[in-house]
Amino acid sequence: MLYREAGDYKTSYTADSQTFPIAFDRYRYWVVLAVSFLVIPFFITDYLVNALFMPFLIYAIAAIGLNILTGYAGQVSLGTGGFMAVGAYACYKLMTAFPDVNILIHVVLAGGITALVGTAFGLPSLRIKGFYLAVATLAAQFFLVWLFNKVAWFYNYSASGQISAPERMVFGVAVTGPNTPAWASYLVCLVFVTISALIARNLTRGALGRQWMATRDMDIAAEIIGVNPLKAKLTAFAVSSFFVGISGALFFAVYLGAVEVGEVFGINKSFLVLFMIIIGGLGSIFGAFAGAAFLVTLPVFLKLIGVDLFGWPTDLVAHLQLVIVGFLIMFFLVKEPHGLAQLWRLAKEKLRLWPFPH
Amino acid sequence: MKDNGESFVTEDGRTIGEVMLDLRDITLRFGGVEAIKSISFDIREGEIRAIIGPNGAGKSSMLNVISGFYIPQDGEVWFHGKKRAPLKPYQVARQGIARTFQNIALFEGMTVLDNIMTGRLNYTKSGLLAQAIWKGKAEREETENREKVERVIDFLEIQAIRKTPVGRLPYGLKKRVELARALAAEPKLLLLDEPMAGMNVEEKEDMSRFILDVNDEFGTTIALIEHDMGVVMDLSDRVVVMDYGKKIGDGTPDEVRNNQAVIDAYLGVAHED
């Protein structure tokens, strides 16, 4: 009843092209923002932050990044883990080289460095498409992980070969290192997620997003209408890697604190983020959130039900999780390639007219 | 009909301008196959120029040469009195040449509005950062482009399907959206590859009216490939006839209709062995 277009007249093209054209959606958006910024920080605990909120928020940024590349621009990438590693190591090198500069600036710079690396690895996309491009990005994944293991300069010649984040303050509160309060690390991630989502949304609803989608849907027609394929594909790689780099930097500095590259940013990470956007929805910012939320909460939820409630062995639950994710990916690829976001969209479309569809 | 490079008046009393696009001795080969054999013709400002011929005559290849998909092995393309270096399709688009395809080439995952908005990409100058914050120049450009696009939407009478994903539209409407996308680019020269293929009589009449209106109201020069002879003869000012990659006729519809080589190509001719 509340979810209505009727009576909500748009009197300018700006109003018509806004992110949430329906009034109810706009209010909901502000409510969600208000709750996440003003309410949750007061109730958050270490367990909640580490098991749910931080992985959800950080993966959401990675999923937004990959969704720009794969969902909007149609370029399949299996290099997400490698690009996250670039973000993490760039952040580490910047943190240790310039300890006086604000960590937030380092995270953004790490995103910028990843954007450059991503663009370089995006060059093959001008010649190859689809599966072949996926394999080329797979090479990036393995090369980058190998590089960070092999060249000691990247981990400052530490004996363990790991990188670990030193303590850094923002406004007098630690946001990295062991003394970080739960709400601080939560807020840092939340700020980055919010800004990333806004930027991604603005880019995808505007001219650049149309270039990407046109290239995805039919590259020949895109070229004939004036899209430079080189520019479209490389900007997609750059913007996507920028977000992936930021998520990698946060994953290392704020979430884990210490990273061994092969373990954390291996090929599994690439697939995990890819599964997020497949389940959440290709070509949708909301889908990135839905997919990240789903794959982060699923193991927690299963553990709660399986281990704590029914007393099943832990390994059974872990395997059950793989089975469920595998099944869901097949289900979504066959039945609904646009994922949870499309189901949500269809529900909203029905809801607009409910209860009188004619 | 005079042909001295200057403007002249056709039989219907329409004024046709100077030569806009001049194709000189274009030869296009695919390996050993000669798709186009040394063809020359011109397209003049403001006219509707039809390219006709039996299947496989090389008509679509000709359009692909003009729009930059194929680079001819021989011959020159002159546009607005200047010789054109080999260009990529998107560079051709920037010179003011837009086209539609024989098999609809729309962006299926996008809405009608977004599809047509892609026609305005050449007019978007704001950078990545401006678009990311959606303020200032980016927002202004978006609104300006939207106004232009809305005019095209009104013109082609597709207001009702503005927000519909293109994949859900029926064939006839898709053809119209494709025309809209090309028009949104405000081209000087519009290339239409079989705009009426697969349409019923009513849809053909609609499309013919739109083509005439585009030519009339926007002054757009149009080159079109079409198989329906009735449509071609009614719409076009001048007709080029191709067969097996060669040009066998060129002139007004009446001249072409009475050309023996053209009649032979279409009706067949008894060979003497």
pLDDT of B1 = 45
Question: Mutation test of the interface with chain A: which of B88, B118, B154, choosing the one with the most A Cβ atoms within 10 A?
Answer: B118
Interface contact flag, A226 B121, Cβ < 8 Å: yes
- Contact B180/B152 with Cβ under 8 angstroms? yes
Question: Longest C-alpha distance within chain B, in Å?
Answer: 75
Collect all residues of chain B within an 8 Å Cβ-Cβ radius of residue A225.
Answer: 90, 93, 98, 118-119, 121-122, 181-182, 185
Would you say residue A60 lies in a domain? yes
Interface contact flag, A226 B185, Cβ < 8 Å: yes
Interface contact flag, B109 A12, Cβ < 8 Å: no
Which of B88, B107, B117 comes nearest A218 by C-beta?
B107
Exposed e or buried b per residue across A286-297, where buried means at least 16 C-beta atoms within 10 angstroms of its C-beta: bbbbbbbbbbbe
Reduced to 3 states (helix: H, G, I; strand: E, B; else coil), residue A353 is: helix
Would you say residue A270 lies in a domain? no
Would you say residue A282 lies in a domain? no
Interface contact flag, A202 B139, Cβ < 8 Å: no
Asked if the C-beta of A221 comes within 8 angstroms of chain B's C-beta atoms, the answer is yes
Least confident interval from A145-149, A191-195, A337-341, B77-81: A337-341
pLDDT of A3 = 64
Domain made up of B8-96+187-267: CATH architecture: 3-Layer(aba) Sandwich (3.40)
Interface contact flag, B181 A213, Cβ < 8 Å: no
Interface contact flag, A224 B99, Cβ < 8 Å: yes
Q: Can you point out the beta strands (E) in A132-262?
A: 163-164, 169-170, 173-174, 258-259
Which residues, 6 or more positions from A315, have their beta carbon under 8 angstroms from its beta carbon? none
pLDDT of B2 = 44
Would you say residue A58 lies in a domain? yes
Nearest to A289 by CA among A140, A189, A218, A161: A189
Would you mind telling me the total number of residues written for chain A in this entry? 358
Interface contact flag, B93 A226, Cβ < 8 Å: yes
CA separation for the pair B95, B68 (Å, rounded):
11
Interface contact flag, A208 B142, Cβ < 8 Å: no
Collect all residues of chain B within an 8 Å Cβ-Cβ radius of residue A108.
Answer: none
pLDDT of B240 = 92
Mean pLDDT of all residues in A341-353 = 78
Mean pLDDT of all residues in A306-315 = 83
Locate all alpha helices (DSSP H) within A73-129, ordered by sequence: 80-97, 103-122
Q: In the predicted model, is pLDDT for residue A119 greater than 80?
A: yes
- Contact A282/A337 with Cβ under 8 angstroms? yes
Which of B105, B128, B132 comes nearest A221 by C-beta?
B105
pLDDT of A111 = 95
Which of B109, B110, B124 comes nearest A207 by C-beta?
B124
Measure A206 CA to nearest chain B CA, in Å: 7
- Domain residue ranges in chain B: 8-96+187-267
- Contact B99/A224 with Cβ under 8 angstroms? yes
Q: How many domains does chain A have?
A: 1
pLDDT tens per residue across all 273 residues of chain B: 445 556 667 666 777 788 889 999 999 999 888 889 999 999 999 899 999 988 888 899 999 999 999 999 999 999 988 888 888 999 999 999 999 998 888 998 899 999 999 998 888 888 888 888 888 788 888 888 899 999 999 999 888 888 888 988 988 889 999 999 999 999 999 999 999 888 889 989 999 999 999 999 888 999 999 988 888 888 999 999 998 888 988 888 888 888 888 888 877 776 665
Q: How many CA atoms lie within 13 A of A357 on its CB side?
A: 5
Scanning every residue of chain B, which has its alpha carbon at the shortest distance from the alpha carbon of A216? B107
Would you say residue A100 lies in a domain? yes
Q: pLDDT for A79-89, tens place per residue?
A: 999 999 999 99
Would you say residue A162 lies in a domain? yes
Task: Give the pair of three-digit tokens for residue B113.
Answer: 């509005």
Scanning every residue of chain A, which has its alpha carbon at the shortest distance from the alpha carbon of B147? A13
Would you say residue A15 lies in a domain? no
Asked if the C-beta of A314 comes within 8 angstroms of chain B's C-beta atoms, the answer is no
Collect all residues of chain B within an 8 Å Cβ-Cβ radius of residue A199.
Answer: 132-133
Asked if the C-beta of A308 comes within 8 angstroms of chain B's C-beta atoms, the answer is no
Asked if the C-beta of A218 comes within 8 angstroms of chain B's C-beta atoms, the answer is yes
Which residues span the domain enclosing A123?
Answer: 41-265
Would you mind telling me the total number of residues written for chain B in this entry? 273
Asked if the C-beta of A224 comes within 8 angstroms of chain B's C-beta atoms, the answer is yes
Share of chain A above pLDDT 70, in %: 97
CA separation for the pair B26, B40 (Å, rounded):
6
Q: In the predicted model, is pLDDT for residue A250 greater than 90?
A: yes
Interface contact flag, B105 A220, Cβ < 8 Å: yes
Tell how many helices (H) and how many strands (E) occur in chain A. Answer: 17, 4
Collect all residues of chain B within an 8 Å Cβ-Cβ radius of residue A213.
Answer: 107, 109-110, 114
Which of B118, B145, B150 comes nearest A225 by C-beta?
B118
Collect all residues of chain B within an 8 Å Cβ-Cβ radius of residue A217.
Answer: 106-110
